[in-house]
Amino acid sequence: MYHIGIDPGSEGAVVILSGNEAVAAAHWKPCVRQKRKVRKFTMIVKGGKPKQVITDRLSDVGFQILRLMALIGIREATLACEDFYMGRNARTTIELAKGAGLVLSPVEHRLSKKTEWVSAGDWRKAVLGIKRNTKRQEVKNASILMIPKKVKGISELAKKLGTPDHITDAAGIAEWSRMKAEGHGEYAESNTGSV
Protein backbone atom coordinates (compact mmCIF):
# COMPACT_ATOMS: atom_id res chain seq x y z
CA MET A 1 0.00 0.00 0.00
CA TYR A 2 1.23 3.50 -0.84
CA HIS A 3 1.02 6.43 1.54
CA ILE A 4 1.40 10.05 0.42
CA GLY A 5 2.35 12.77 2.89
CA ILE A 6 2.41 16.45 2.02
CA ASP A 7 4.07 19.29 3.92
CA PRO A 8 2.25 22.17 2.18
CA GLY A 9 3.16 25.77 1.64
CA SER A 10 4.75 28.10 -0.83
CA GLU A 11 7.81 25.97 -0.09
CA GLY A 12 6.85 22.39 0.65
CA ALA A 13 7.40 18.72 0.00
CA VAL A 14 5.73 15.40 -0.72
CA VAL A 15 6.94 11.92 0.20
CA ILE A 16 5.50 8.66 -1.07
CA LEU A 17 5.90 5.53 1.02
CA SER A 18 5.43 1.91 0.04
CA GLY A 19 4.78 0.33 3.40
CA ASN A 20 7.20 2.25 5.60
CA GLU A 21 9.85 2.74 2.91
CA ALA A 22 10.24 6.02 1.03
CA VAL A 23 10.09 5.33 -2.72
CA ALA A 24 9.77 8.91 -4.02
CA ALA A 25 9.93 12.49 -2.85
CA ALA A 26 9.70 16.01 -4.19
CA HIS A 27 10.35 19.52 -2.97
CA TRP A 28 9.15 22.84 -4.33
CA LYS A 29 10.17 26.39 -3.55
CA PRO A 30 9.60 29.86 -5.01
CA CYS A 31 12.27 31.40 -7.21
CA VAL A 32 12.58 34.07 -9.89
CA ARG A 33 13.23 33.23 -13.55
CA GLN A 34 13.35 35.87 -16.26
CA LYS A 35 12.00 38.46 -13.80
CA ARG A 36 8.89 36.46 -12.92
CA LYS A 37 7.97 34.50 -9.83
CA VAL A 38 7.84 30.75 -10.42
CA ARG A 39 8.42 27.56 -8.42
CA LYS A 40 11.24 25.10 -8.78
CA PHE A 41 9.87 21.57 -8.37
CA THR A 42 12.52 18.88 -7.85
CA MET A 43 11.50 15.22 -7.67
CA ILE A 44 13.25 11.91 -7.25
CA VAL A 45 12.28 8.24 -7.38
CA LYS A 46 14.25 5.72 -5.33
CA GLY A 47 17.38 4.70 -7.23
CA GLY A 48 17.08 7.58 -9.69
CA LYS A 49 18.46 11.07 -10.11
CA PRO A 50 16.66 14.29 -9.23
CA LYS A 51 14.62 15.90 -12.02
CA GLN A 52 13.67 19.55 -12.01
CA VAL A 53 10.69 21.38 -13.48
CA ILE A 54 9.83 25.07 -13.34
CA THR A 55 6.13 25.67 -12.68
CA ASP A 56 4.24 28.92 -13.19
CA ARG A 57 1.51 28.33 -10.62
CA LEU A 58 1.13 26.52 -7.33
CA SER A 59 -1.61 24.41 -8.94
CA ASP A 60 1.07 23.04 -11.28
CA VAL A 61 2.74 21.49 -8.23
CA GLY A 62 -0.27 19.18 -7.81
CA PHE A 63 0.06 18.05 -11.42
CA GLN A 64 3.78 17.41 -10.94
CA ILE A 65 2.89 15.22 -7.95
CA LEU A 66 0.58 13.28 -10.30
CA ARG A 67 3.53 12.86 -12.65
CA LEU A 68 5.61 11.48 -9.77
CA MET A 69 2.78 9.09 -8.86
CA ALA A 70 2.59 7.93 -12.50
CA LEU A 71 6.32 7.13 -12.53
CA ILE A 72 5.68 4.66 -9.70
CA GLY A 73 2.35 3.45 -11.05
CA ILE A 74 0.21 4.51 -8.09
CA ARG A 75 -3.51 3.93 -8.46
CA GLU A 76 -4.41 3.72 -4.77
CA ALA A 77 -2.87 5.40 -1.75
CA THR A 78 -3.68 7.09 1.51
CA LEU A 79 -3.34 10.87 1.32
CA ALA A 80 -2.45 13.09 4.28
CA CYS A 81 -1.51 16.75 4.58
CA GLU A 82 -0.32 18.85 7.51
CA ASP A 83 -3.13 21.07 8.70
CA PHE A 84 -2.80 24.78 9.45
CA TYR A 85 -3.14 26.62 12.71
CA MET A 86 -4.33 30.18 13.12
CA GLY A 87 -1.23 32.16 13.96
CA ARG A 88 -0.89 35.87 14.60
CA ASN A 89 -1.40 36.72 10.95
CA ALA A 90 -4.72 35.34 9.71
CA ARG A 91 -3.93 36.45 6.15
CA THR A 92 -0.84 34.20 6.03
CA THR A 93 -2.86 31.21 7.23
CA ILE A 94 -5.53 31.86 4.59
CA GLU A 95 -2.91 32.12 1.81
CA LEU A 96 -1.26 28.87 2.96
CA ALA A 97 -4.62 27.10 3.01
CA LYS A 98 -5.44 28.32 -0.51
CA GLY A 99 -2.07 27.05 -1.73
CA ALA A 100 -2.57 23.65 -0.12
CA GLY A 101 -5.95 23.37 -1.82
CA LEU A 102 -4.36 24.11 -5.20
CA VAL A 103 -1.70 21.42 -4.65
CA LEU A 104 -4.08 18.78 -3.27
CA SER A 105 -7.01 19.10 -5.70
CA PRO A 106 -5.50 17.16 -8.62
CA VAL A 107 -4.15 14.47 -6.28
CA GLU A 108 -7.50 14.01 -4.54
CA HIS A 109 -9.20 13.82 -7.92
CA ARG A 110 -6.81 11.16 -9.22
CA LEU A 111 -7.11 9.03 -6.07
CA SER A 112 -10.88 9.62 -5.72
CA LYS A 113 -10.50 10.27 -1.99
CA LYS A 114 -10.45 13.09 0.50
CA THR A 115 -7.29 14.27 2.17
CA GLU A 116 -6.74 13.40 5.83
CA TRP A 117 -5.66 16.61 7.55
CA VAL A 118 -3.39 16.23 10.58
CA SER A 119 -1.97 18.92 12.83
CA ALA A 120 1.80 19.11 13.17
CA GLY A 121 1.47 18.39 16.88
CA ASP A 122 -0.64 15.28 16.31
CA TRP A 123 1.58 13.60 13.69
CA ARG A 124 4.75 14.43 15.63
CA LYS A 125 3.28 12.97 18.81
CA ALA A 126 2.12 9.79 17.04
CA VAL A 127 5.26 9.25 14.95
CA LEU A 128 8.03 10.79 17.05
CA GLY A 129 6.55 10.81 20.56
CA ILE A 130 7.10 14.58 20.85
CA LYS A 131 4.84 16.71 23.05
CA ARG A 132 2.46 18.98 21.15
CA ASN A 133 3.79 22.23 22.65
CA THR A 134 7.48 21.63 21.85
CA LYS A 135 9.28 24.62 20.31
CA ARG A 136 9.48 24.85 16.52
CA GLN A 137 13.28 24.55 16.20
CA GLU A 138 13.30 21.50 18.50
CA VAL A 139 10.64 19.70 16.46
CA LYS A 140 12.39 20.52 13.18
CA ASN A 141 15.66 19.08 14.56
CA ALA A 142 13.82 16.03 15.89
CA SER A 143 12.22 15.45 12.48
CA ILE A 144 15.60 15.58 10.72
CA LEU A 145 17.21 13.24 13.26
CA MET A 146 14.37 10.81 14.05
CA ILE A 147 12.36 10.36 10.84
CA PRO A 148 15.24 8.56 9.05
CA LYS A 149 15.12 5.96 11.86
CA LYS A 150 11.37 5.46 11.31
CA VAL A 151 11.14 5.65 7.50
CA LYS A 152 13.50 3.52 5.43
CA GLY A 153 15.25 5.24 2.53
CA ILE A 154 14.27 8.80 3.40
CA SER A 155 17.86 9.89 4.19
CA GLU A 156 19.02 9.02 0.67
CA LEU A 157 16.15 10.89 -1.00
CA ALA A 158 16.47 13.95 1.27
CA LYS A 159 20.22 14.09 0.68
CA LYS A 160 19.77 14.02 -3.10
CA LEU A 161 17.12 16.73 -2.92
CA GLY A 162 19.14 18.82 -0.46
CA THR A 163 16.12 19.82 1.66
CA PRO A 164 15.95 17.59 4.71
CA ASP A 165 13.48 19.41 6.97
CA HIS A 166 10.58 19.66 4.50
CA ILE A 167 11.26 16.15 3.22
CA THR A 168 11.44 14.59 6.69
CA ASP A 169 8.26 16.41 7.73
CA ALA A 170 6.43 15.11 4.64
CA ALA A 171 7.79 11.63 5.42
CA GLY A 172 6.48 11.96 9.00
CA ILE A 173 3.04 12.89 7.68
CA ALA A 174 3.09 9.90 5.30
CA GLU A 175 4.19 7.66 8.18
CA TRP A 176 1.33 9.00 10.32
CA SER A 177 -1.05 8.12 7.47
CA ARG A 178 0.43 4.60 7.24
CA MET A 179 0.15 4.09 10.99
CA LYS A 180 -3.46 5.23 10.94
CA ALA A 181 -4.36 3.03 7.96
CA GLU A 182 -2.72 -0.01 9.56
CA GLY A 183 -4.16 0.62 13.03
CA HIS A 184 -0.90 1.21 14.89
CA GLY A 185 -0.56 2.86 18.29
CA GLU A 186 -3.48 5.09 19.22
CA TYR A 187 -5.28 3.93 16.05
CA ALA A 188 -5.28 0.26 17.03
CA GLU A 189 -8.72 0.39 18.67
CA SER A 190 -10.47 2.65 16.22
CA ASN A 191 -9.35 3.23 12.67
CA THR A 192 -12.36 5.32 11.71
CA GLY A 193 -13.02 9.02 11.65
CA SER A 194 -11.00 11.84 10.22
CA VAL A 195 -8.70 14.40 11.68
CATH of the domain at 35: 3.30.420.10
The answer to whether position 117 is within a domain reads: yes
Where would I find the beta strands (DSSP E) of 34-154?
36-45, 51-55, 77-82, 116-118
Express each pLDDT in 52-94 by its tens digit.
999 998 889 999 999 999 999 999 999 999 998 767 778 888 8
Number of domains making up the chain: 1
Residue 2 dihedral angles phi and psi, to the nearest 5°: -95, 150
Of the listed ranges 117-131, 144-158, 177-191, the one predicted with least confidence: 177-191
Its domain, for residue 175, covers 2-187
Express each pLDDT in 37-55 by its tens digit.
999 999 999 999 999 999 9
The answer to whether position 166 is within a domain reads: yes
- Indicate the DSSP class of residue 1: -
Q: What is the pTM of this model?
A: 0.90
